[in-house]
């Protein structure tokens, strides 16, 4: 098959499934032309990149020069960035074909993708359920095989929780591992671009394409990028104990009463699978675990209230009510932002205001330090930590729409990892009852900073 034939087949599949799933806000018009270029390269015997001809979905809060980039918001409905995000540029340099921009909760704020200004994405396992969020479009697109891999962003779990709900692999890299240049800022000290794939190997190949220092992002790390992809060739899971000696800590607080019983038994099953592979699994306690959720929501809202001030109808965003300056700002933001975003801006502004700053923002920063310390201690004793990726499987569309606190509570498994800046891999580890064919459950593996290589190795052997 030629790259063009393959692209045609894949586009057909995308068009066939899209009416039920609604993963994409926009689909590229240049796919076949890009595939032609790959065929031409093959004909000229030129070297092909590691993603040559591969369909890649890109979350719509990551900028692309040749397609709209809305962030899931009305306020950027007509925005076409004049540049590619660094991660997108690197995908293209590796031969990847950006097939479209995927749906998300507005600016990444949400856990269901229902917070998009444009459409509701369905979970391919049961279309009456949410795909998770905020990168629900990217997760659903890989799950429905509309693309091979995709990019998402993870501020508090937005790659890992939808990966769990949709039964795909999701990787949140270490903070600074991947350039944020061209990612629309939500909470800059927590944001990171992450990867989805239907296997650990695919996910690792995508990470390898996008990781590494970038002069355009001052927080991107100069830490060396190991060859994430070489190990997929050399590891054999046929060895009897391929993970012999690996110390795994099961986080006790993540199996508490509030967690779905069927999820807990999937995770316990995954732990014994790891033992069969040669790991020693012990329980470990993170005493500050439950403090992470309120601290996260204060810090993320605070940072977002500052980051989103740029959407004022002048510098960025569609302009409404241009007769007076004040009403121009006010009307543009009133019309352009959805209710969840407004709530975050108000909460964040409050937490940062004089008189409340010490009680909220400063306190939350102190909790953040505690969380970092307790992870450090636990990762001194263990090579990786494991937990569920979410306290429940995918729930129904509409179920938590009017109960934001219940939705926030579902982020309990993931937010601590962002506060600590650590890498984490989520991969399917079981099924529970529900929907027409059962619902997937995701296992989260957390590693030390810049230890993505180990997570990918363990994940690859585990699956
Ligand atoms: N659900 C969380 C929030 O709404 C996390 C979102 C994310 O990681 N972008 O903030």
The whole-number pLDDT of residue 235 equals 63
11-15, 324-328, 419-423: the lowest-pLDDT one: 324-328
Whether 336 shows a pLDDT value over 60: the answer reads yes
On the question of pLDDT at 267 being above 60, the answer is yes
Whether cis (ω within 30° of 0) applies to the bond prior to 29 is no
Q: What is the pLDDT of residues 291-329, one digit of tens each?
A: 999 999 999 999 999 999 999 999 888 888 777 887 899
CA of 324 from ligand 1 middle (Å) equals 35
- The number of the ligand 1 atom at minimal distance from the alpha carbon of 157 is 8
Q: Which two tokens stand for residue 303?
A: 């940072």
- Residue 155 beta carbon below 6 angstroms from any ligand 1 atom: yes
Q: What is the reported pLDDT for 316?
A: 84
Looking at every residue in the chain, the average pLDDT score rounds to 96
Please report the pLDDT score of residue 320 as a whole number: 86
Q: Domain 3-232 is classified in which CATH homologous superfamily?
A: Amidase signature (AS) domain (3.90.1300.10)
* 281 Cα to the center of ligand 1, angstroms: 30
Q: Is 426 in the pocket of ligand 1 (CB under 6 A)?
A: no
| pLDDT at site 236 | 61
Q: Give the distance (Å) from ligand 1 centre to CA of residue 142.
A: 20
pLDDT score of 189 more than 80: yes
Tell me the C-alpha distance between 441 and 46, whole Å: 42
pLDDT value, residue 381: 97
Using a 6 Å cutoff on CB, does residue 131 contact ligand 1?
A: no
User: Considering only 180-184, 231-235, 425-429, 437-441, which range has the smallest mean pLDDT?
Assistant: 231-235
Q: Please report, for the chain, the start and end positions of each structural domain, with discontinuous segments joined by +.
A: 3-232
Atom of ligand 1 nearest to the CA of 415: 5
Compute the residue count for the chain: 463
Answer whether 197 contacts ligand 1 (Cβ < 6 A): no
Residues 352, 418, 183, 132, CA torsion sign: negative
Query: CA of 2: how far to CAs of 145, 247, 415, in Å?
Result: 19, 46, 43
Report pLDDT for 317.
82
So what's the pLDDT on residue 239?
Answer: 72
pLDDT of 400 over the 90 cut? yes
Question: Strand 97-102 to strand 55-59: parallel, antiparallel, or no bridges (unpaired)?
Answer: parallel
Active site residue ranges? 59, 134, 158
Among the listed ranges 15-29, 183-197, 235-249, 341-355, which one has the minimum average pLDDT value? 235-249
Edge-to-edge, what's the strand order for the sheet holding 384-388? Answer: 24-27, 97-102, 55-59, 149-153, 193-197, 169-172, 424-432, 439-446, 384-388, 247-251, 280-284
Q: Which band of pLDDT confidence, cut at 50, 70 and 90, is reported for residue 194? A: very high
pTM for the predicted model, two decimal places:
0.97
What is the pLDDT, as a whole number, of residue 1?
87
The average pLDDT across 78-104 equals: 97
Q: Is the pLDDT of residue 237 over 60?
A: no
Taking residues 144-160, report their average pLDDT: 98
Q: pLDDT band at residue 335, thresholds of 50, 70 and 90? A: very high
pLDDT tens profile 57-85: 999 999 999 899 999 999 999 999 999 99
Q: Which of 61, 111, 185, 342 has the most ligand 1 atoms within 8 A of CB, as the residue to mutate?
A: 111
**Strand-pair category, 169-172 with 149-153:** unpaired
Cα(347) to centroid(ligand 1), Å: 15
Confidence check: pLDDT of 232 > 80 = no
* Mean local confidence (pLDDT), 279-300: 96
Collapse the DSSP code of 97 into the 3-class scheme (helix H, G, I; strand E, B; otherwise coil) and give the result: strand
Q: Check residue 240 and give its pLDDT.
A: 82
């Amino acid at each position: 098959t030629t790259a063009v034939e393959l692209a045609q087949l894949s586009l057909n599949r995308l068009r066939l499934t899209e009416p039920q799933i609604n993963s994409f806000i926009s689909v590229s018009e240049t796919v076949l032309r890009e595939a032609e270029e790959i065929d031409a390269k093959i004909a000229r015997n030129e070297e092909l990149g590691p993603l040559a001809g591969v369909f890649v979905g890109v979350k719509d809060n990551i900028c692309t020069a040749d397609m709209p980039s809305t962030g899931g918001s009305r306020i950027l409905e007509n925005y076409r960035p004049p540049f590619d995000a660094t991660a997108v540029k690197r995908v293209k340099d590796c031969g990847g074909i950006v097939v479209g921009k995927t749906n998300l909760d507005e600016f990444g704020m949400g856990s269901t993708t229902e917070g998009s200004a444009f459409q509701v994405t369905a979970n391919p396992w049961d279309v009456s359920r949410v795909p998770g969020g905020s990168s629900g479009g990217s997760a659903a697109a890989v799950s429905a095989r509309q693309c091979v891999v995709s990019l998402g962003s993870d501020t508090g779990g937005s790659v890992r929780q939808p990966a769990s709900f949709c039964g795909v692999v999701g990787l949140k890299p270490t903070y600074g591992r991947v350039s944020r240049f061209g990612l629309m800022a939500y909470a800059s000290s927590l944001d990171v671009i992450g990867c989805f794939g239907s296997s650990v190997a695919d996910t690792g190949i995508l990470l390898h394409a996008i990781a590494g220092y970038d002069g355009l992002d001052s927080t991107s790390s100069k830490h060396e990028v190991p060859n994430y992809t070489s190990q997929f060739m050399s590891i054999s899971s046929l060895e009897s104990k391929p993970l012999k000696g690996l110390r795994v800590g099961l986080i006790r607080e993540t199996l508490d009463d509030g967690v779905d019983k069927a999820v807990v038994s999937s995770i316990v099953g995954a732990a014994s699978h790891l033992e069969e592979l040669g790991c020693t699994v012990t329980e470990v306690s993170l005493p500050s675990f439950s403090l992470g959720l309120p601290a996260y929501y204060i810090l993320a809202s605070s940072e977002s209230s500052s980051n989103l001030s740029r959407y004022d109808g002048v510098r960025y965003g569609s302009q409404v009510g241009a007769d007076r300056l004040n009403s121009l700002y006010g009307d543009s933001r009133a019309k352009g932002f959805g209710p969840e975003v407004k709530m975050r801006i108000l909460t964040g502004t409050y937490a940062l205001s004089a008189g409340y700053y010490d009680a909220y923002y400063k306190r939350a920063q102190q909790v953040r330090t505690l969380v970092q310390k307790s992870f450090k201690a636990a990762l001194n004793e263990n090579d990786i930590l494991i937990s569920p990726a979410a306290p429940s499987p995918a729930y129904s569309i509409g179920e938590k729409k009017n109960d934001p606190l219940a939705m926030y509570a579902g982020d309990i498994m993931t937010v601590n990892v962002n506060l600590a800046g650590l890498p984490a891999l989520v991969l399917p580890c079981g099924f529970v009852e529900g929907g027409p064919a059962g619902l997937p459950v995701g296992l989260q593996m957390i590693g030390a900073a810049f230890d993505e290589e180990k997570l990918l190795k363990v994940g690859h052997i585990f699956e």
